[in-house]
Structure 1
């Protein structure tokens, strides 16, 4: 049976790194795109892994990396996970057009046009997953650009699902809550306690959902946004 190929954006660290490792362990060939130079850990995972450096906010670099994928042995993509994302939390009065454009181009535009590009050669039964955020549905001051980008991802998910239905490609978004990617020893008891699940999220929580959605038996899940936040956004908070 032909080995499947997963394309993961933003794979250098955090959730993206966990996604890369999880799909490699599941037997996929994996290509990851990140604007960072190749990190040290990638060199130890060389078998089955291709690392492409690219700033997805740049139209020129985005088009270049899409051409590079086409020309490689891994040209056909079975699973696309658009995880790359930028955030910048600044007072609203200090938000610049450049910052807005960089966040929207990285978080939204690149995901849409990578989806368009790979879907043209994606086999029937392909999977596209876009990483959104619970911040698409709730906010704090200074989060306008990031919130807008994640809200756009949720919306474009069901639009893509509709557009790609005849190709039997499913498109879903995942909205992580607090996913801690650093040293968990620094977390406080209250950080865990405030979640219904009584712990802060881990990158593996997102990777498991992506593997589940990639399974051929998950074909009936389509056009959905799946919240993974330990119940945090269902919590009623008020003054006692």
Structure 2
């Protein structure tokens, strides 16, 4: 399905990003793993190369424009072009609105939202020269629509991703570049076996999600046969946001 496609995944060395990297590699793609964590990134690259996958790790700080530019340049130098970008890099912040500093707010904004725009911009400069354009998917969150206390900065960045998605879809559409986002719900990246029955039953699907669930959504949105799908926010949460709180 994705044989010889070139895919760039930010935040790709761990968690959801790692699941996305593995999914594309298993489908024959050439994957560029971007992550700030050099140790995890190099280890994943080595492990995947040993299994015969085509991968390249590029240590990247997505809060720095020059790092983003160099990431896309390295991808083109290694594989010739870019077909798919997955904007997955991000951080969570849980600080009272009375206490959050200007620097903390701006750091999260740059990490989660500003980086998504500049990664999209630099990747699109390459994609627009492809015969069939390309695809961009950014990771938003169900927290763009619902919140718990003291998560204002995180919610704002994820709401921004949703708005950025349809704006970029409009601007990049003429270059045959689709732009979509995914809003994951509860995706467990740690010890899945430690979850309780009460955790699973909060979901209409009867279970908490795993990184592979988000990877499958990425594969759908970036498959060229689904080129008609653009500008959307796809919620992948096992139906959790549709379950009423006071439901028996």
Conserved 8 A contact 1:125-1:219: no
1:127 to 123, 126, 135: 135
Deviates more, 1:86-95 or 1:40-49: 40-49
Cα distance, 1:75 vs. partner?
4.4
The alignment of Structure 1 onto Structure 2 pairs a total of residues equal to 239
Conserved 8 A contact 2:65-2:118: no
Return 5+ residue gaps in structure 2 as ranges: none
Cα distance, 1:230 vs. partner?
0.6
Judged with a 3 Å threshold, the aligned counterparts in structure 2 of structure 1 residues 193 and 137 are, in CA distance, closer, same or farther, namely: same
**1:25 corresponds to:** 26
Cα distance, 1:73 vs. partner?
2.3
Cα distance, 1:109 vs. partner?
1.0
* TM-score in terms of structure 2 length: 0.91
1:220 paired with 2:220, answer no
**1:105 corresponds to:** 110
Cα deviation per residue 1:60-115 (whole Å; 9 max; x = unaligned)? 43344344344x22241101000001111011111111111111111111111111
1:179 paired with 2:187, answer yes
Cα distance, 1:239 vs. partner?
8.3
* TM-score in terms of structure 1 length: 0.94
CA RMSD of aligned residues (A): 1.7
Cα deviation per residue 1:154-183 (whole Å; 9 max; x = unaligned)? 000000000011111110000000000111
Conserved 8 A contact 2:68-2:122: no
1:188 paired with 2:188, answer no
Cα distance, 1:217 vs. partner?
1.2
Structure 2 CA distance for aligned equivalents of residues 68 and 217 of structure 1: 28
